[in-house]
Chain A
Amino acid sequence: DPKIIQKPKYLVAVTGSEKILICEQYLGHNAMYWYRQSAKKPLEFMFSYSYQKLMDNQTASSRFQPQSSKKNHLDLQITALKPDDSATYFCASSQDSGNTLYFGEGSRLIVV
């Protein structure tokens, strides 16, 4: 059974709309992350959270907002979607800082 659940697996959205990508991990980890992967940038770090607190943000746009309602939960809200946001978004977790990352299967977003 997958230990990191991402929903939805595939998503088509209209330019200007808002979507939320869901991520839950059942590994008992303290840190969670969001990464983006597109043809332009192979694997791009976005955010890191530890104990539900933002540790690092490498995303320039405020249109991307992580939301953590529980320690094992880190959603990603994306507003005012643009075609350039089309990518696969990966959620990951680790026991703590500097530890091995475990990735989910990704949410593939297409913005038309």
Chain B
Amino acid sequence: GDSVTQTEGQVALSEEDFLTIHCNYSASGYPTLFWYVQYPGEGPQLLFRASRDKEKGSSRGFEATYDKGTTSFHLRKASVQESDSAVYYCALSPDSNYQLIWGSGTKLIIKP
């Protein structure tokens, strides 16, 4: 079945560090890929999405590129801030399906 794998359960960085959170997926065809962010006490909210191979999604300095060849959608940010502390979820939507397939989430901790 379809699946999403986030290898890092937690990432701890200092302000202005470079961030990479890895996301690999397994699905047939061209699923839509998403990054969601969840701040403490809130529901997840969309960061951005991508639907085609080589498409780049970006928002708030975060970006990820849909790579069908490596089945990846890694999240990157050049310089993190304390306000980026949150849990980040990678997810995919198979064609015309109501259920998103979610990764296990990566908790980002920014040390001041």
Contact = CB atoms under 8 A, between A and B. Distances in A.
Interface of A: 4, 31, 33, 42-43, 45, 48, 50, 55-56, 58, 90, 92, 97-106
A105 B98 contact: no
Contacts of B98: 31, 33, 48, 50, 55-56, 97-98
Interface residues of B, number: 23
Given A97-B96, A97-B97, A98-B32, A103 B44 contact: yes
Interface in B42-57: 42-46, 49
Given A48-B98, A98-B97, A104 B104 contact: no
B100 A45 contact: yes
A59 B46 CA distance: 24
Interface residues of B, dominant DSSP: loop
Contact of A43 (B34, B41, B89, B93): B89
Interface string B75-111: 0000000000001010001111111101011000000
Contacts of B34: 100
A101 B104 contact: no
Contacts of B105: 42-43
A3 to B, nearest CB: 11
B91 to A, nearest CB: 8
B43 A98 contact: no
Nearest to A88: B43
